[in-house]
């Protein structure tokens, strides 16, 4: 028996035999083509691009049925890259200039892109995505199958050097019960995908692929970051008991879906879901969501690679509102830029995460912005809708956004088109500048939603996708907790709703702390709705406030996180 320790990337425990997944390498030779064959080779490449886009969209659709969440954004990026006219042109030029195969041209062009991205600190994080689309294109060009996973006939634990997000999301959950990798970190795309899909995972194990042979019995404990190779009988018995307890706990969670989210002393909490496409709305309702706290709308751009029409907008919103059956839906306007580029518009900014993105981009493309607002307002006749503006930094942006809404309302009035006049307007608080003037911003809006993913990133100057500094991405940092405390307190004083829709709100370790800070609205991935509800129903308001006071008393995030983890494990040992 041998025990290895890595990074706990996705919670859960699994026991099965090892399946070694070799990194699939596609042979690419510099084979010269006859000039007369070049036009046909170009067509072959363009056909492969079309097939690759169709494959990625199908994978995204399949993933959305399994679980909603941030992980779906990676496929938006892949589609955008595959459709990128500049990249396609470079590859076609390589085929013609070198009289080479499409495979060789793809490899050359991607290598050039990688060099460009690696020279930019903000684009560096997308290098894995470039390799992922290269992998997809070469597989289409060479007609390869899905990397040996079709050989699986029974439950197995995948062991690999690394897994791309695409590989992770296509794992058959009926047969793949966990995975363990040499590389990776907790904040990588692959780890985020694993958590969203509920697949236990331990990453960053160093040389696990060299230490395991196919058929070895493995235990993967995604809660502790432990992998046990060929465990003895006593250890196996212990972990089999853990697996049984986890399954019993999951059955209890399923029964919570129809119960209210309220504390033991009767304090009612609103528990909403984050979704990224219309198909996820039904999953959210099934898991007990009382509404949609964040409807991300970027998929409308990336699905077709061009701006959606007003009718396409309207149908996407109407469908969700109808599915929610009278429950509220908060629709966030386009949040693009940074790592999500407007199709057909390449980013040349030095620091795209600090540049023209989100609401700033909307103001630069007012025609697209107004089209979206029109569709949202039209859909408001189907049920309660609110509009959420992302990345607000100052009062002028709020007032300009509100002005656009009022102008569109006037246009609809003049055209005799019906809409609700009770559409609430809210803002995302995700930059320190907005948090600092929240007292001023609160006077302008009906509600506030705290986006912790960007808030932590911008406050601590940490790119969570960069594994070199991802350990500094700390939601438990005193600065973050104080900002959240002050935003919630200001909102409550001004009698406006305050919600939270970032990953922090869906992390069971932070749930009681947030309750104690006065948060009354949580918006989380549908997959974790029952767990957050269980935490809420297990404490009193007074107890939550005590936890918050203690957590805020620590001066180091590590101590805060340790306290919150220990407390949560003590109250609900099955959940952590």
Instruction: Give, in order, the Cα–Cα distances in Å from 380 to each of 374, 398, 414.
Output: 10, 21, 17
Strands 329-332 and 424-429: unpaired
Listed in order, strand segments (DSSP E) in 238-384 are: 270-275, 292-295, 329-332
Give the separation between CA 159 and CA 214, rounded to whole angstroms.
9
Helix (H) / strand (E) element for 522: namely strand 521-524
CA nearest 429: which of 463, 384, 388, 474? 388
Number of residues that this document lists for the chain: 576
Give the separation between CA 403 and CA 413, rounded to whole angstroms.
15
End-to-end CA distance of the chain: 25
Give the separation between CA 547 and CA 512, rounded to whole angstroms.
7
The token pair at 363 is 């103001």
Catalytic residue check, 99? no
| Active-site annotation holder among 100, 362, 393, 501 | 501
The count of other CB atoms within 10 Å of the CB of residue 48 is 22
Q: What share of the chain is helix, strand, coil (3-state, %, to 5)?
A: 55, 15, 30
Catalytic residue check, 313? no
Spatial neighbors of 482 by CB under 8 A, at least 6 apart, are: 552
Give the separation between CA 119 and CA 121, rounded to whole angstroms.
7
Residue that the structure tokens 């099965």 belong to: 16
Instruction: Give, in order, the Cα–Cα distances in Å from 139 to each of 12, 38, 59, 106, 473.
Output: 32, 20, 15, 12, 35
The token pair at 97 is 């200039």
Give the separation between CA 321 and CA 343, rounded to whole angstroms.
27
Strands 217-221 and 226-229: antiparallel
The three-class DSSP label of residue 32 is coil
| Active-site annotation holder among 71, 78, 135, 189 | 189
The catalytic residue positions are 189, 501
């Amino acid at each position: 028996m041998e025990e290895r320790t890595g990074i706990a990337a996705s919670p859960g425990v699994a026991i099965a035999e090892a399946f070694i997944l070799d990194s699939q390498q596609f042979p690419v030779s510099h084979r010269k083509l006859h000039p007369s064959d070049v036009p046909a080779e170009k067509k072959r490449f363009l056909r492969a691009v079309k097939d690759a886009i169709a494959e990625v969209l199908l994978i995204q659709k399949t993933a959305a049925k399994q679980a909603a969440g941030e992980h779906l954004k990676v496929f938006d990026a892949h589609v955008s890259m595959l459709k990128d006219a500049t990249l396609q042109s470079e590859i076609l030029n390589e085929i013609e200039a070198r009289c080479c195969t499409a495979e060789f041209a793809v490899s050359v062009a991607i290598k050039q892109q990688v060099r460009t991205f690696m020279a930019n600190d903000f684009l560096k994080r997308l290098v894995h995505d470039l390799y992922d689309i290269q992998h997809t294109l070469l597989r289409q060009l060479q007609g390869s199958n899905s990397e040996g996973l079709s050989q699986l006939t029974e439950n197995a634990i995948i062991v690999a050097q690394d897994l791309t997000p695409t590989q992770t999301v296509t794992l058959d959950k009926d047969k793949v019960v966990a995975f363990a990798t040499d590389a990776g970190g907790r904040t990588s795309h692959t780890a985020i995908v694993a958590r969203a899909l509920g697949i236990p995972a331990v990453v960053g194990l160093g040389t696990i692929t060299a230490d395991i042979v196919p058929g070895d019995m493995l235990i993967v404990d995604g809660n502790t970051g432990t992998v046990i190779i060929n465990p003895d009988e006593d250890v196996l018995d212990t972990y089999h008991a853990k697996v049984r307890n986890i399954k019993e706990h999951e059955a209890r969670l399923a029964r919570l879906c129809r119960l209210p989210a309220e504390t033991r002393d009767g304090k009612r909490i609103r528990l909403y879901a984050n979704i990224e496409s219309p198909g996820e709305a039904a999953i959210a309702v099934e898991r007990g969501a009382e509404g949609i706290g964040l409807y991300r709308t970027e998929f409308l751009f990336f699905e077709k690679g061009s701006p959606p029409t007003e009718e396409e907008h309207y149908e996407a919103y109407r469908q969700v509102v109808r599915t929610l059956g009278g429950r509220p839906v908060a629709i966030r306007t386009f949040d693009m830029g940074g790592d999500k580029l407007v199709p057909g518009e390449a980013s040349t900014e030095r620091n795209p995460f600090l540049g023209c993105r989100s609401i700033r981009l909307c103001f630069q493309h007012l025609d697209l912005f107004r089209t979206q607002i029109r569709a949202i307002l039209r859909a408001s006749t189907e049920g309660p809708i609110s509009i959420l503006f992302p990345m607000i930094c100052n009062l002028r942006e709020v007032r300009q956004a509100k002005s656009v809404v009022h102008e569109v309302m006037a246009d609809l009035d003049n055209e005799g088109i019906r809409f609700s006049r009770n559409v609430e307007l809210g803002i995302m608080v995700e930059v320190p500048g907005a948090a600092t003037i929240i007292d001023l911003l609160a006077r302008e809006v009906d509600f506030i939603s705290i986006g912790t993913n960007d808030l932590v990133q911008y406050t601590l100057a940490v790119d969570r996708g960069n594994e070199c500094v991802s350990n500094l991405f700390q939601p438990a940092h005193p600065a973050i907790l104080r900002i959240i405390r002050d935003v919630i307190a200001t909102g409550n004083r001004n009698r406006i709703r305050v919600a939270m829709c970032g990953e922090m709100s869906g992390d069971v370790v932070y749930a009681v702390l947030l309750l104690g800070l006065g948060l009354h609205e949580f918006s989380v991935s549908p997959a974790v709705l029952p767990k957050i509800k269980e935490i809420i129903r297990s404490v009193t308001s007074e107890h939550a406030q005590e936890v918050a006071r203690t957590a805020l008393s620590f001066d180091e995030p590590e101590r805060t996180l340790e306290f919150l983890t220990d407390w949560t494990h003590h109250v609900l040992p099955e959940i952590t």
